[in-house]
Chains A and B, each alone.
Chain A
Amino acid sequence: MIPADFGVIELEGVQRRFAGTAAVDGIDLAMAPGEFFSLLGPSGCGKTTTLRLIAGFDRPDAGAIRLLGQDVTDVPPHRRRVNTVFQHYALFPHLSVWDNVAFGPRNRRLPEPEVRRRVGEALERVRLGELARRRPSQLSGGQQQRVALARALVNEPAALLLDEPLAALDAGLRRTMQQELKRIQREAGIAFLLVTHDQDEALALSDRLAVMQSGRIAQYGSPREVYDRPVNEWVAGFLGRANLLADPLGGGRTMLRPEQLTLRGEAPHAEQAGRRARVVAVTFQGATLQVVLRDGDGQELVARIGRQDPAAGVRIGEVLWVVWPVQAGHHWSS
């Protein structure tokens, strides 16, 4: 159905300015069919504006947007083959769950038996069949989220746009819904474009992601690439804790993730590097412990160790070796 020789969504030099400042400052992007792609960034980085430009709620000041190879830059939202899951779901309060989901198919004037079949299937897919006659206000947050998904998916869009869909849910429900999103995406075979500020969510769900900063894409890649080989310190820090060590001979810097560090009593051997440092804080984090240390130069190091680790009993004030494999970490030569 979707030609393989171009992207589902393609952005080329897309720019959007509000009152003189660029919210989106020249973005290029291409999403493959069936891909789970995330736009990750802090609030105000332009990720939601990008999503609204793709949906058609807003128009770019420069650049082009293509869906399935066709230029849709000037096409209004109701004629674009994408559907949106809104941050606060935007379910129609005066309509039942069923009528909410049937809204799209009925606008496309599908015959009523076909509408019934599709709506039934969509509600089954999100496991809400038995709540079809309720009003949105009678549903929990998680259930409303599922209705929003069904209402979008029932239209068989070329791509589904999700604007911080899990932000309003509590932590436990968020984890369940993450798995649900992934399952639904795999089953439906539709490309998902997820906008989020939650790096764990983006890393867990995405096939590829783009990290956005101040209206530009800072980095583009698979979750592993972006986490292990961030292009700069800002990206490194946004995706998780990062230790930044200056090269002893000057010039470059090396980034080490906390889980790459081990704590031991004895000095590092040939394939390892290390420093002696004093423990300044130990934080219990459930499955892991976070240990903050400071070396002789005042450089702070953060290590994350398992609870079974021999060093799990460290106390504040102890002096230990912080050790890592020499080939570990990511090196920037500046």
Chain B
Amino acid sequence: MRMGNALLMGVAALAYGVLFAPIVVIVVFGFNAPLGRFNLIWQGFTLENWLHPLRDAALSQAFATSLGLALSASAIATVLGGLMALALTRHRLRARSWIEMLLVLPLTSPEVVLATSLLNLFVQTNLPRGFGTLLIAHSLFCLSYAALTLKARLVEMDGSLEEAAMDLGARPLQAFRLVTLPLIAPGLLAAFLLSFSLSLDDYIISLFTAGETVTLPLYIAGAFQREISPQIHVLATMVLMASVALLGLSVRSGRSA
């Protein structure tokens, strides 16, 4: 029995170790003082990188682009996804099962297929590639995730709550603001966070649709041959800290609702 427990603990520790080791490496190497251009081997501790996180101008530019892109794509996906989820759960749509299938399709089709077809579409319609096409593409693949996350939340919610609000004198929009919105708020936050991390992280679709615009993953992948600056690790750690904070927030608000 005690042997079994020890073995279980050992396996669990190993699994968590493998899961979290890369994250630990990122955080640790933010404090490294590399000798050359490649921040790959531990040389010595320094706070220099954290004091000048934006020293690498091209990296900072790419980071800013990615942040702006992720924020706007997530906002668009969350709003549109929320409206789709409302339509799918609150109304008897004739084409409901078809729409639901179309929502799942982008999740199941290989990303490279989605990327090529988007590029085709943009070239065909003569849309100049850049931040605009990136925003369209990112909003699109985030939309499926956001709509499905919110749909799950809305299905859980008792439909008669909105009727009760209207029964008690609330106009339809008031009923939405006073009852529906507070109840789906944790779902909205979850959809936004999920979209944000997917967009920030995306490489393949961005590669096909970015034109001259450089996002963070595109920059890192391109710079990887020439240089890996410790600022990459610093910025990645910052993103990590922000997502942990937001996740903590969403867990807390989910518990109180």
Question: Measuring CB to CB, which residues of chain A are less than 8 angstroms from any residue of chain B?
Answer: 55-57, 76-78, 82-84, 86, 88, 90-94, 103-104, 107-108, 151-152, 155
* A107 and B257 contact, Cβ closer than 8 Å, known pairs A86-B164, A90-B164: no
- Pick 7 A–B contacts, CB within 8 A, sort by A: A78-B170, A88-B158, A90-B164, A93-B183, A103-B178, A107-B168, A155-B168
A124 to B155, CA, bound (A): 35
Contacting pair B257 A78 (CB below 8 A): no
Residues of A within 8 A of B168 (CB): 78, 83, 103-104, 107, 151-152, 155
Residues from chain B with a CB closer than 8 A to the CB of A94 are 182-183, 257
Q: Which B residues lie within 8 Å of A83 (CB)? A: 167-168
Any A CB within 8 A of the CB of B225: no
- For residue B165, CB closer than 8 A to chain A, the reply is yes
- A-B Cβ contacts below 8 A, count: 61
0 or 1 for each of B164-176: is its CB under 8 Å from A? (1 = yes) = 1111111110110
What are the 6 A-B residue pairs with the smallest beta carbon separation, nearest first?
A107-B169, A104-B168, A90-B164, A90-B160, A77-B166, A78-B166
Measured CB to CB, the closest approach of chain B to A9, in angstroms, equals: 15
Q: Which residue of B lies closest to A157 (CB)?
A: B167
Which residues of B are found within 8 Å of A56, using beta-carbon distances? Answer: 166
- Is the Cβ of B169 less than 8 Å from the Cβ of A90? no
Closest to B174 in A: A107
B179 adjacent to A92 (CB under 8 Å): yes
Q: How many residues of B contact A (CB 8 A)?
A: 20
Is the C-beta of B161 less than 8 angstroms from some C-beta in chain A?
A: yes
Interfacial chain B residues near A82, Cβ < 8 Å? 167
CB distance from B177 to the nearest CB of A (A): 12
Report if B48 contacts A (CB, 8 A).
no
Which residue of B158, B172, B178, B182 contacts A90 across the interface (Cβ within 8 Å)?
Answer: B158
Contacting residues, chain B, for A57 (C-beta < 8 A): 163, 166-167
**Which residues of chain B in 51-105 are interfacial with respect to chain A, using CB atoms and an 8 Å cutoff?**
none
- List chain A residues, Cβ under 8 A from B182: 94
Pick from A55, A91, A104: contact of B169, CB under 8 Å: A104
- Contact at B166–A90, with CB atoms within 8 Å? no
Q: In the docked arrangement, what's the CA distance between A57 and B159, Å?
A: 12
Quick one: given A151-B168, A155-B169, are A77 and B163 in contact (CB under 8 Å)? yes
Min distance, Cβ A277 to any Cβ of chain B, angstroms: 50
> In the bound complex, how far is the Cα of B169 from the Cα of A55, in angstroms?
11
A77–B158 touching, CB < 8 Å: no
B160 touches A86 (CB 8 A): yes
- Judge whether A108 and B169 touch: CB under 8 Å: yes
A92 CA to B166 CA, complexed, in Å: 12
Known: A76-B166, A77-B167. A90 touches B161 (CB 8 A): yes
The distance from the CB of B92 to the nearest CB of chain A, in whole angstroms, is 10
CB distance from B132 to the nearest CB of A (A): 39
Q: How far is the CA of A83 from the CA of B166 in the complex (A)?
A: 10
Tell me which residues across on chain A come within 8 A of B179, comparing CB atoms: 92
Please give the distance in Å from B111's CB to the nearest CB on chain A. 38
In the complex, chain B residues whose CB is within 8 Å of the CB of A55: 163, 167
Tell me the bound Cα distance from A41 to B166 in angstroms: 27
Tell me which residues across on chain B come within 8 A of A93, comparing CB atoms: 183, 257
Q: Contacts of B160 on A, CB cut-off 8 Å?
A: 86, 88, 90
A90 and B166 CA atoms in complex are apart in Å by 12
Give CA–CA (A189, B109) in the complex, Å.
Answer: 63
Chain A residue, CB-CB nearest to B160: A90
CB pair A107 B167 closer than 8 Å: no
Closest chain A residue to B169 by CB distance? Answer: A107
Cα distance A151–B179 when bound, in Å? Answer: 15
Among B163, B175, B182, chain A packs the most CB atoms within 10 A around the CB of B163
Residues of B near A108 (CB, < 8 A) are 169
> How many Å from the CB of B83 to the closest CB on chain A?
21
Query: Is the Cβ of B171 less than 8 Å from the Cβ of A92?
Result: no
Which of chain A's residues has its CB closest to B164's CB?
Answer: A90
Indicate if the CB atoms of B167 and A78 lie closer than 8 Å: yes
Residues of A within 8 A of B169 (CB): 78, 104, 107-108, 155
B158 to chain A, nearest CB (A): 6
**Residues of chain A within 8 A of B257, CB atoms compared:** 93-94
Contact between B164 and A84 (Cβ–Cβ < 8 Å)? Answer: yes
Beyond the given pairs A84-B167, A155-B169, 7 more chain A to chain B contacts, judged by CB atoms under 8 angstroms and listed by A's residue number, are A86-B160, A86-B163, A88-B158, A92-B161, A103-B168, A107-B168, A107-B170
User: Residue of B at shortest CB range from A101?
Assistant: B168
Bound-complex Cα distance A88 to B183 (A): 17
Residues of A within 8 A of B166 (CB): 56-57, 76-78
Q: Point out the residues of chain B lying under 8 angstroms from A151, CB to CB.
A: 168
* Contact call A90/B163, Cβ cutoff below 8 A: yes
**Quick one: closest B residue to A83, CB to CB?**
B167
When distances are taken between beta carbons in the complex, the residues of chain B under 8 Å from A76 are 166, 172
**Which of A56, A57, A78, A104 has the largest count of B CB atoms less than 10 A from its CB?**
A78
**Which residues does chain B contribute within 8 Å of A152, judged by CB atoms?**
167-168
Query: Chain A contacts of B161 at CB under 8 A?
Result: 90, 92
Q: Mark B19-38, 1 if CB is under 8 A from A, else 0.
A: 00000000000000000000
